[in-house]
Every structure is written in C-alpha cells, then in structure tokens.
Structure 1
Amino acid sequence: MVTAYALQVLRGIRSLPADLAAVVVFVGVTNVTVLAPIIRDTPVRVIVGLPFVLFIPGYAFIAALFPEAGESPAQSGEAETEQGLRDRVDDRGIDGIERVALSFGLSIAVVPLIGLVLNFTPWGIRLVPILLSISGFVLIATAVAAIRRWELPADERFEVPYRSWGDTVREELFAPDDRADAALNVLLVLSVVAAVSSVGYAVAVPQQGEQFSELYLLTEDDDGELVADGYPTEFTRGESRELIVGVTNQEHRPTNYTLLVQTHRVQIADNSTTITESESLRRFDLSLAHNETWHRPHAVAPTMEGQNLRLTYLLYKGEPPARTTPETAYRENHLWINVTR
C-alpha cells in the first residue's frame, strides 16, 4: 500500500510543469536533509537550506500569481513610464529575470511573516515548526500555480526555457563568433567555477569562532524551570541546600574538565581578596564534546561557620594544579553565604 501511494505521488509530480516539480522535489530533499540524523550535522544542510529559505517560497508564490508566459521588456517594446509599465505587466505577465528577482524579494518577506505567525502559536519559533510551515506554504502555492497553469491554453503557459538556454550555452561555448567572445566565455566559466568553489569551501570548512567554556549556577523555581535567580544564601552547619551547576563546552573540540566546589573564608583589604581558610566540598570530573552542556543538581553542606563566606566553583581543563584558587582556575563562579550553627 505504501508503494502504491509512493508511485501515485511520483506520477502526480511527473504531471506537474518541470519547474514546479523541481520545487516539490526540493522541498522533500530539504526536509530529509534537515531532519535525517546523519545528514543534518553536515554542511549539506546549509547548502540546501539557504535556497529553501531565500528563493523557493517566493518562486512558488510568484508562480501562483503569474501562471502565464511573459515577454522580456525588449520584446514588449513599450515606454518605461509608470502607466506603460503597469500596462506591459498586465499584457505580457513577467519574464524569467523578473521572476527570479521577485522570488528572492518575496521569500525575504514571506519567511519572516511565517515566523511572526508561529511566534503567537504554542509551537513557537523552532526548527521543526518553521520547516513544516514553510514547506506547507510552498506546496500549497505550488498546487495553486499548477492549477492556474492547467487552466490556460498550452501556448500561454509559462515554461522555463531549459532547451533554449542549453542551446545558447552550447553555441556561446563551442561556436563563438570570434576569439574575443571565446576568451570571454572561458573567463566567465572560470569565474563561475571559482565563485561556486569559494562558497562551497566556506560552507564546508567554516572558520572557528571564539573558543571558550561556560560555567554557571542555577536553581529550580516553583514551576520546575531552571533559573539564574533565587540562590540560597543562609546555611545551617551540617544541613544541605541544593544547587544546580552547569558547564557548556564551546572549545570546538572534546574537552576534559575538573570542577571543584569549595568554601572560602576571605579577608578583603585594599581592593584585594585573600583566602584565609578553605574547605573542599565536592569534585566533579567530566568530559564534554563540542557544544555539549552538562547539568548536575547537587547538595551543598558547608561545615565552616561565619558571615560572608564565599561558596566557590572552580573549573579547570584537565587536572587542577596543587594550589586551587580563583586565580588559577580557567573559569570561576561564586556565591556569598552565611553559615550558622
């Protein structure tokens, strides 16, 4: 049954005009590329996703608005006044160059509007809702475009002139009028190849951004959400309070970390802080891949008594040194707490 349905879909796509069938196929390829477990982590996702966002929605919309074939401005021969331009568009539709230009412009207008609508829905602006919404818009516009073209006489329907383009390219490349045209054609081909290669290299081998790691403390609010607020500051000796510590690896490589939790009694004088007593509470050893985040709820139970003690989290790459202080740590975070009997 699934095979029969797939064959029916393929027959339906085959009956579409070539450009609209290509749009439908491109939508399917984009969905597979973005959602497939292995392919979605490769540069292919960016290469396919850019035209899907910047060109395809506008092209499908333009195809639905203007199903008829058009003439170029040179063919129409009318004066480019405002009234003349309006009459020319009404009489001849729009040509291929105008379709391409309007496709980019309308895509840039339509996609943000779809995101704005999603922002007011329970799904929000997330990858899957945006992908499905744009795909649905493109498929609906493509269906309308196909129906409107089929309603026109065959000689008035818009068709992408693939054959004439191919004949023109072959003639210009292999049968130029003179040597100057041949040299220009070769230079044009080399320029296009160089531009495509540069873009492909930039997508396949992106420059690494800044390398860093994040260390932060969180608590859980009444709704069960993790927030950077409401930290405990009053402790009773021997009784524990819960905190959540988080580490995110943005080093562009797998990294091993050591996280130490300590209580410090400090003396502040002349804008300098000196640790007079230190107490070790917890140690965490973790290994994170690039862009991986680690959260750990843990109980904190200081035994050192006093006012304005510093509950300190020290993050090190690899093993920590013999002297562990905020100055020797790669990342440091702390809370000021009071501990009573």
Structure 2
Amino acid sequence: MTNGDPITGDDDTEPDADGASRTDDDNVDGASGSKVSLPGDLTAITLVTILTCAAVALPGVRSTGLRSVLTVPFVLFIPGYAIVAVLFPEAGVSDGEAGEETDGSERAVRPGLTYVERAALSFGVSIAVVPLIGLVLNLTPFGIRLAPVLISVSGVTLAASGFAAYRRIQIPANERFSVPYRQWSRSVAGVFSGHESNLDRLLTVVTVVALLLAVTSAGYAIAVPKEADAFTELYLVTEQDDGELVADNYPTEFVSGESKSLVVGVGNYEHQSVEYSLVVELQDATVVNNSTQVHDRVELSRQRLTLADEETWESQLNVTPEMSGERLRLSFMLFKGDPPSAPTTDEAYRETHLWITVSDSAEQS
C-alpha cells in the first residue's frame, strides 16, 4: 500500500475475478504450504451433517421437530452439494458475465458453475445418490435400516466435503469457488435500506417466505412420508413336505385325542413394541342370523409373546381336540396384554378360525 492509498474498513477483503468478496484465508495459495481454513460452505455442510446425526441418534431429540427440519436438507441437498463441490471446485462466471465476449481470457473458458446451476445440480445429485446408497446397502447384511443409511450418507458427505476442500486448495485463490455471503447480505440489507418502496419490501419478503415454505413442504413430504396405519397381523398356514409354508391344505378332519399341526403367525406393525396373548379354543358354536352363539368351549392353549415393531413370530401348534362333533370352530384369539378371564371373539384384538369336524375315537375303531 502506498502513502496515497485510502484506508477503508474493508481492507481485509478483495474482489476476485467474479466481483465477489473473498477473505484473506481464501487468498492463500495451497501450493505455498500456508495454512488454509475449510471454506465456509463446506464447513456448513459438515456442521449440518453432524447435527443431523445427533438429532436422529439422541433419544431426547429424535422425537422432536428438529429431526425433520434437519433430515429434509440432509437427504435432498447436502450430499449432492458436497459431491458437486468435488467435481467443480472452480468459481463459475456470473449470469451477466456468461454472455460477454472476451479476448481469450481465462474467465471465458472457466468450467465452474453459476450459483443457480450449482444449487439445481446439488438437488439432482442428492436425489440420485441417496437411493443408490440404499440399493448398495440392500445387497449387504446391514440392509436398508436407519443406522446403516445414516452412517453411509454421512460418510459419503463428509468424505466428499474433505476432498472438495483439498481440490480447492490445489487451484489459484482467485479461481476458487466461494459463497459471497457478505455480498448477499448487503443485497438483502439494501432492500430495507430506504432505497426501495414499502410495497417492494413487502413483495420481496412475501416471495422469499413463499419460496421457503414451498421448498420445505415439498422436501418434508418426500423425506418424511406419512406413517402407515398401525395394525397387527394374525394368520394360519400349513407346512408342506418340502418345508414351504402355504395358506392352504388346512386340516379339517380330526379324531378326538389325536394331534394335527398348524403354524400360527403374528406380525407386529404397531410402530412400537407390543405384548400379546394368544388363546386357542375349540368351540361348539352355531351361527344364526349373522350372530354366533357358543354352547360349549374347551381351551387348548394360551401363551404370551412380546414383539418389537415389524417383528414377525411364527410357531408350530399341535391341535389336540378333546371335544367331538361336526362343524366345531377352532378359534385363534389374539389380545393386547392380558386376555379376559372368559375370552370371546368379540373382545379379541384379532381373530381367525377354522371349521373342523372331530370324530370320537371309538367311532374310528
């Protein structure tokens, strides 16, 4: 600086080839061996990734709205931005400069992206990469579960951010991409500086808020789909000679005192762990005018089981009827928690049954 140079308050910055302000840290050439700090945009990407992992993993936070707020950009934008930063470390020409003719200057052939192109490409790359990570995980023993997906996407994002920072260091400081935070903040402040009318300010605020709401709503709908209705599955199947379970060939002819086997299954899709009670009864029942009347009943078995969310339980059950008669109802009643002292099918949470005939053993001899 000469003695005639004016001293201003912004002497810590200097404009680059694109007119954007850069700090002294950005002007350090990586080839000189000087310390170069992590760029601001990649620092933000790293912080959002770490905060998202904490919001998903910490018990006190993962049930709050903060999890949804962080996971939407984490899935739809963050991984793609880091990968695009690796592919395009150079600063791109601005929209106004892109159409200008230059005399073979480096700016005219620079391979960087404009801010709009970079943002759009970040969304597209994220939408392509995250499902690809899920596809790869599906081929591994880990499967598509929350922990493996979170670790994989975070690992890809952090690795790409580090490599992007390394690539920026390898190119001259005046060609590196950087986000002009100060320039943008001045532009936003200019709207409220008194040079614009009140109507222009109001329209600007409404437009920005509407855009943010639209993007957030669309991202939330994609990243956090509506939770399916809670339900429990109760079913009966039979085991074939080859070990395959099929919903067919149910035993309907029994002999009193002799056993035949069935496989009963329970699937928990209640979005939480549930304790069940399964009661199996043989009932002498008749159906009159869509109303079932039970004349006699014999309890064959009763057992308790606890299933985690999306867990399925199957067990082979040997049915040994002690009551004989035609068209008896073999009823499987599932209850949440403890069953009533005298359980009925109307009180059961889930119920399925078979109509069977039980012959007396004396008749068979």
TM-score, length of structure 2 as denominator length: 0.66
Please say if 1:313 is aligned against 2:332: yes
Alignment partner, residue 31 of structure 1: 53
Q: Equivalent residue of 1:32, what SS?
A: helix
Asked if the contact 1:219–1:231 (Cα under 8 Å) also holds between the matched residues in 2, the reply is: yes
In structure 1, what is the Cα distance between the partners aligned to 2:152 and 2:275? 40
Report the more deviating stretch, 95-104 or 232-241.
Answer: 232-241
Q: Give the drift of 1:305.
A: 3.6
Report the more deviating stretch, 172-181 or 269-278.
Answer: 269-278
Q: Give the drift of 1:306.
A: 5.5
In structure 2, what is the Cα distance between the partners aligned to 1:56 and 1:228? 46
Q: What does the per-residue CA deviation read over 1:241-276, in whole Å, with 9 as the maximum and x for residues that have no partner?
A: 5755536363x8999976532113567899998766
Alignment equivalent of 1:334, drawn from 341, 344, 353: 353
Alignment equivalent of 1:53, drawn from 47, 53, 75: 75
Q: Equivalent residue of 2:192, what SS?
A: helix
Asked if the contact 1:215–1:248 (Cα under 8 Å) also holds between the matched residues in 2, the reply is: no
- Which amino acid is the alignment partner of residue 151 of structure 1? Q
Task: Report percent identity of matched pairs.
Answer: 45
Alignment partner, residue 63 of structure 1: 85
Residues 131 and 287 of structure 1: CA distance in aligned 2, closer, same or farther (over 3 Å): closer
Alignment partner, residue 167 of structure 2: 148
Q: Give the drift of 1:110.
A: 1.3
- Which amino acid is the alignment partner of residue 30 of structure 1? T
In structure 1, what is the Cα distance between the partners aligned to 2:347 and 2:324? 25
Q: Give the drift of 1:43.
A: 3.4
Alignment partner, residue 187 of structure 2: 168
Asked if the contact 1:173–1:185 (Cα under 8 Å) also holds between the matched residues in 2, the reply is: no
- Which amino acid is the alignment partner of residue 324 of structure 1? T
Residues 67 and 208 of structure 1: CA distance in aligned 2, closer, same or farther (over 3 Å): closer
Q: Where does the alignment leave 5 or more consecutive residues of structure 1 unmatched?
A: 1-13, 80-86
Indicate the structure with greater helix content: 1
- Which amino acid is the alignment partner of residue 34 of structure 1? V
Name the Cα RMSD after superposition: 4.8
Q: Where does the alignment leave 5 or more consecutive residues of structure 2 unmatched?
A: 1-35
Asked if the contact 1:258–1:320 (Cα under 8 Å) also holds between the matched residues in 2, the reply is: no
Give the count of matched residue pairs. 316
Report the more deviating stretch, 296-305 or 159-168.
Answer: 296-305
Asked if the contact 2:239–2:262 (Cα under 8 Å) also holds between the matched residues in 1, the reply is: no
- What does 1:140-219 correspond to in 2, within 5 Å? 140-188=159-207, 191=210, 210=229, 212-217=231-236
In structure 2, what is the Cα distance between the partners aligned to 1:49 and 1:187? 25
Residues 21 and 183 of structure 1: CA distance in aligned 2, closer, same or farther (over 3 Å): closer
In structure 1, what is the Cα distance between the partners aligned to 2:307 and 2:140? 35
Q: Give the drift of 1:68.
A: 0.7
Asked if the contact 1:218–1:246 (Cα under 8 Å) also holds between the matched residues in 2, the reply is: no
Q: Give the drift of 1:217.
A: 4.6
- Which amino acid is the alignment partner of residue 246 of structure 1? V
Alignment partner, residue 120 of structure 1: 139
Residues 34 and 261 of structure 1: CA distance in aligned 2, closer, same or farther (over 3 Å): same
Between structure 1 and structure 2, the one with the greater Rg is 2
Asked if the contact 2:78–2:122 (Cα under 8 Å) also holds between the matched residues in 1, the reply is: yes
Please say if 1:131 is aligned against 2:150: yes
Asked if the contact 2:237–2:263 (Cα under 8 Å) also holds between the matched residues in 1, the reply is: yes
TM-score, length of structure 1 as denominator length: 0.70
- Which amino acid is the alignment partner of residue 19 of structure 1? D
